[in-house]
């Protein structure tokens, strides 16, 4: 995979991770009674950012081990970046607006959250399917190319 795309995933992974860490502050404020809100919603926002940020960081870190053409590499990076931001932004907005985004129905705030979650779901499935296919495709080629280690 191109270094530029790998570095882009790592950068956005760090930003998504930071957004998740920032969402931990309202979570703590709700837990301590300093802020009114849904503890469940803020916990989800916090964890969505941390987990999606980690996903981008990990895939960015292993990207050199996967052989992607320019087009598939761009699809991989784009889909996982959409998933990362979609999940963390949707979760934060859901907590702020006190909606869940589980169905495509009003109010408008719920629809916004639902659209972001749907985009994130599509992105993560596309991205991880590409990673799995490339890892499987190149699994045998690397093992066969290595020379056997001598036995002592």
Confidence band for 66, pLDDT divided at 50, 70 and 90:
confident
- The pLDDT assigned to 145 comes to 45
- The pLDDT assigned to 105 comes to 93
Mean pLDDT of the chain: 91
- The pLDDT assigned to 69 comes to 86
Q: Token pair for residue 127?
A: 């991205």
Cβ-in-10-Å burial (0-12, 13-18, 19+) of 22 comes to: middle
Cα–Cα dist 83/111, whole Å? 17
Answer with the residue of higher pLDDT: 106 or 92: 92
| pLDDT greater than 90 at residue 121 | yes
- The pLDDT assigned to 151 comes to 61
Overall average pLDDT of the 29-39 stretch: 96
C-beta neighbour count of 10 within 10 angstroms: 17
Q: What are the CA-CA distances from residue 143 to residues 134, 137, 140 (Å)?
A: 14, 12, 5
Percent of the chain as helix, strand, coil, to the nearest 5: 80, 0, 20
- The pLDDT assigned to 143 comes to 44
Domain ranges of the chain: 3-139
- The pLDDT assigned to 152 comes to 52
Cβ-in-10-Å burial (0-12, 13-18, 19+) of 111 comes to: middle
Cα–Cα dist 41/82, whole Å? 21
- Tell me if the pTM is above 0.85: yes
| pLDDT greater than 60 at residue 141 | no
Overall average pLDDT of the 66-90 stretch: 94
Cα–Cα dist 77/127, whole Å? 7
Q: Say which residues have a Cβ less than 8 Å from residue 94's Cβ, sequence separation at least 6.
A: 41, 44, 45, 100, 101, 113
């Amino acid at each position: 995979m191109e270094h530029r795309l790998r570095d882009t995933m790592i950068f956005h992974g760090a930003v998504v991770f930071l957004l998740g860490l920032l969402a931990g502050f309202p979570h703590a404020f709700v837990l301590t009674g300093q802020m009114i809100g849904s503890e469940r919603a803020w916990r989800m926002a916090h964890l969505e950012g941390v987990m999606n940020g980690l996903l981008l960081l990990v895939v960015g870190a292993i990207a050199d081990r996967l052989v992607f053409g320019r087009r598939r590499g761009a699809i991989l990076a784009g889909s996982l970046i959409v998933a990362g931001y979609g999940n963390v932004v949707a979760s934060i907005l859901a907590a702020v607006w006190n909606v869940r985004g589980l169905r495509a129905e009003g109010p408008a705030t719920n629809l916004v959250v639902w659209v972001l979650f749907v985009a994130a779901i599509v992105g993560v499935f596309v991205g991880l399917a590409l990673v799995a296919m490339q890892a499987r495709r190149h699994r045998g080629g690397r093992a066969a190319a290595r020379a056997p280690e001598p036995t002592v």
